[in-house]
Amino acid sequence: MKIVIFEPHPDDLLFGPGPILLEWINEKKHDIHVITVTDGRACYRSGDDVYSEDVAKMTEDDVAKMRINEAKKSIEFLGLPHQNHHLFNFHDADGQKYVKEGIEKAKPIIKDVDRLVLPSTHNLHEDHQATHDIAVGAAKELNLTDIEYFVYFIPSYGKFQEDSKDHQFEYTIDEVKAEVLKEWLNIYQSQAKIKWTWKMSARFLRKIRTWTYARYTFTDIGTYYNF
């Protein structure tokens, strides 16, 4: 099966589809691709956290370089071939501006996909919403009627709603996988420079063992809160 995963920022792969992705990799029979949509350059911009001292000396180009490098290291960590990693390098926090170009870039990669993995719609984060719009937009233009649409949500950006309860399922990981996720988190040292965000991420991976995901079909597009 060809699986294409969209990650809005370099680290969403871990917090969104990460846990179940470990299982797909273990199945050893899939052609797994990852599309990293933005370069993550805006991650120190908001100023509403506590940052390590060296952040002040970094330009946004430095930040982007560091985060793209972390995205690449994650692919390596997971043992996926680097040619299956597709970097769109859009500037994050630019939201809808890059959707049209993103759709064009995505089409050749997803044209023969069996399972498309994407963030939920009604997403509080504009880059995550833009990523959803790129994935669905490209799939609609290609008329991908027979594939699986696999939806994840990063918990702080929204929730799965009752209207598509039948499409959702809970996925629980064991301690072995939990350890792998913790090890994986350490790749994202750019995030370790953001004190409270980092603490929250580490705590999240220490405590959470169950993720909610949902599967939809082409005809479901636009019918549910999450798809």
Binding site for Zn ion (CB under 5 A): 8-9, 12
Q: What residues have CB less than 8 Å from 65, skipping those under 6 apart?
A: none
Q: b/e per residue, 138-160, with b = 16+ CB within 10 A?
A: bbeebebeebbbbbbbbeebbeb
User: Of all residues in this chain, which one has the CB nearest to Zn ion in the complex?
Assistant: 9
Q: Which is nearer to Zn ion, 12 or 133 (CB)?
A: 12
Q: In the structure, how many helices (H) and strands (E) does the chain have?
A: 8, 7
CB of 44 to Zn ion, least distance (A): 14
CB of 163 to Zn ion, least distance (A): 24
Q: Which is nearer to Zn ion, 60 or 220 (CB)?
A: 60
- Compute the radius of gyration of the chain from its Cα atoms: 17
CB of 55 to Zn ion, least distance (A): 18
Q: Which is nearer to Zn ion, 37 or 173 (CB)?
A: 37
CB of 43 to Zn ion, least distance (A): 9
Q: What residues have CB less than 8 Å from 97, skipping those under 6 apart?
A: none
Q: Which is nearer to Zn ion, 147 or 188 (CB)?
A: 188
- Position 96: which residue type? Q
